[in-house]
Amino acid sequence: MAFVDGTVVNVALPALQVSIGATLADGQWIIEAYELMLAALLLLGGAAGDRFGRRRVFTLGVVLFTLASVACGLSQGVGQLIAARCVQGIGGALLVPGSLALLSASFSEERRGRAIGTWSAFTAITGAFGPVLGGFLIDHASWRYAFFLNVPIAIAVLVISLRWVPESRGGPADAPVDWAGALLAALGLGGIVYALISSQSEGWRNAAVLGTLAGGAIALAAFLVVESRRKGPMLPLGMFRSMEFSGANLLTLLLYGALGGSFFFVPLNLIQVQGYSSAAAGAALLPFILLMFTLSRWAGALVERHGPKGLLVAGPVLAAGGFALFAVPGVGGSYWTTFFPAVLILGLGMTLTVAPLTTTVMRSAPAETLGIASGVNNAVSTLAGLLAVAGCGIVMSICFNAELHRLLVTADVPAPVVASVESQRAKLAAISLESVAQPELRSLVHQAIDSAFVSGFRRISAIAAVLSVLSAAAAWLMIGGRGSIRKQGSG
């Protein structure tokens, strides 16, 4: 459910811009509202599963996620959609860490790598199913069906969970819930994300931007203080004394930041600039997902034979090559010679990374904290996307605005048209040209808009490639080989 939703909503963003007039900032908040609540509460969800029953918390999350998905599909405006996405994020925070914790509790250490590889494969195939079907429904019906897709999946998940999944716990059921930590995490992350997104239109000298940025930083500092002193914290800081655990989470932060930041803009590029339909844009990423489905179990088995370090270095390096290839295409050209090579290389890199990374995280934590360990890693990956979407939005906004102005002035576009176009800069490639009557002038301005978007997209792809290389460096320096990971896992 979570993987389908994450991929489908990105494909739906161009339709949302047309249907409800969403700007770049609106689109960011539609993504970020979900990611914000998910990142802030994932740790609480993992801890709650350990204490109160992993299956119980998991099924509660499925129900809440589904109800919020229906509310998203029924939304009549941007505000309602963002509010429903917040609730959806709360449901996701309960179900996402529970899935891996249930797996890890149900399989022995010797079989866990293959089990997690199978988990990765099935999340990949659902991720493939979502964008294609969702894009088809967006093209032929409405973006609302992208959210309604979750309903039949939820019914199947609940039946399977209640009938076949055993209950498990990792801590006492009467342990206190860390509400203070959850509140501080939400306030801290919310303040920083609000500042990053608002700075695109208000600038960094705006008092509200600076105030929320400072408030967010203070709240996060207070969160760390509270967690260090609390008897039963949702984030046990002592877990980061493990070099393996810290290294795996640093790798996650960097690599998933690259993925989240770039993939926010990929559907916008394919649909609004390259002219793909929503279904075609969803299908464009199929090689990435099919590679993960086909090879994830194999990658999980490689960890058992050779340890994670080699895979966690090679995978991100390959992914960096994929991100770099995304910066090559301009406007137009065949998919097979433009985006396919990038998708293929990136998919291979992520396939070599995901199962070994997940196995490393779960083996580096004691058995009684599997839910917390899963929650921490999922929170880090979500936090990475949360910050990357906001940060890359700033990069895209600056690059797009500067390049668009340069191209329009160089082409001697009349000043009134320049003013009309630049007043809609927040829409990026969805800028309306209805006020431009002359066909030749409209074509010229349209080319300038497309070229400006590609210019910004190339810079984001380059940033993603650099982050991927840094994640490989983190693996090389902080994650050990086969013997090290087995020793930590058995301890």
Confidence of residue 348 (pLDDT cuts 50, 70, 90): very high
Six-digit token pair at 432? Answer: 């309306």
Give the distance, in angstroms, between the CA of residue 246 and the centroid of all CA atoms in the same chain. 20
**Per-residue pLDDT at 82:** 94
Q: Do residues 291 and 348 touch, judged by C-beta distance below 8 A?
A: yes
Distance CA 434, CA 409 (A): 20
- Residue, of 476 and 364, whose pLDDT is higher: 476
Above 50 in pLDDT, residue 484? Answer: no
The H or E element containing residue 440 is: helix 439-478
Amino acid letter for position 62: V
**Per-residue pLDDT at 173:** 57
Segment 279-295 mean pLDDT: 85
Six-digit token pair at 122? Answer: 């099935």
Segment 166-193 mean pLDDT: 81
The H or E element containing residue 339 is: none
**Per-residue pLDDT at 485:** 43
Q: Do residues 95 and 286 touch, judged by C-beta distance below 8 A?
A: no
Above 90 in pLDDT, residue 323? Answer: yes
Above 90 in pLDDT, residue 212? Answer: yes
Rounded to the nearest 10 degrees, how much is the dihedral formed by the CA atoms of 90, 383, 17, 329?
-150
Above 50 in pLDDT, residue 465? Answer: yes
Phi, psi values for residue 174, rounded to 5°: -95, 10
Above 50 in pLDDT, residue 487? Answer: no
Predicted confidence (pLDDT) per residue in 111-155, tens digit: 877 787 777 767 766 766 777 888 888 888 888 988 998 899 899
**Per-residue pLDDT at 171:** 62
Q: Which of 185-199, 292-306, 393-407 has the highest mean pLDDT?
A: 393-407
Distance CA 477, CA 468 (A): 14
**Per-residue pLDDT at 30:** 92
Segment 2-26 mean pLDDT: 83
CB atoms within 10 A of CB 361: 27
- Tell me the C-alpha to C-alpha distance, in Å, between residue 12 and each of 119, 180, 479: 26, 35, 38
**Per-residue pLDDT at 57:** 92
Mean pLDDT of the chain: 87
**Per-residue pLDDT at 174:** 63
Q: Which residues of 364-374 are buried (b: 16+ CB within 10 A; e: fewer)?
A: bbeeebbbbbb
First to last CA, the chain: 33
Above 60 in pLDDT, residue 253? Answer: yes
- Residue, of 219 and 96, whose pLDDT is higher: 219
DSSP assignments along 35-57, one per residue? HHHHHHHHHHHHHHHHHH-HHHH
Confidence of residue 5 (pLDDT cuts 50, 70, 90): confident
307: left (phi over 0), alpha (psi -120 to 50) or beta: left
Confidence of residue 488 (pLDDT cuts 50, 70, 90): very low
Six-digit token pair at 267? Answer: 């559907």
Above 80 in pLDDT, residue 262? Answer: yes
Which segment of 68-82, 164-178, 310-324, 462-476 scores lowest on mean pLDDT?
Answer: 164-178
Confidence of residue 175 (pLDDT cuts 50, 70, 90): low
Give the distance, in angstroms, between the CA of residue 221 and the centroid of all CA atoms in the same chain. 24
**Per-residue pLDDT at 481:** 60
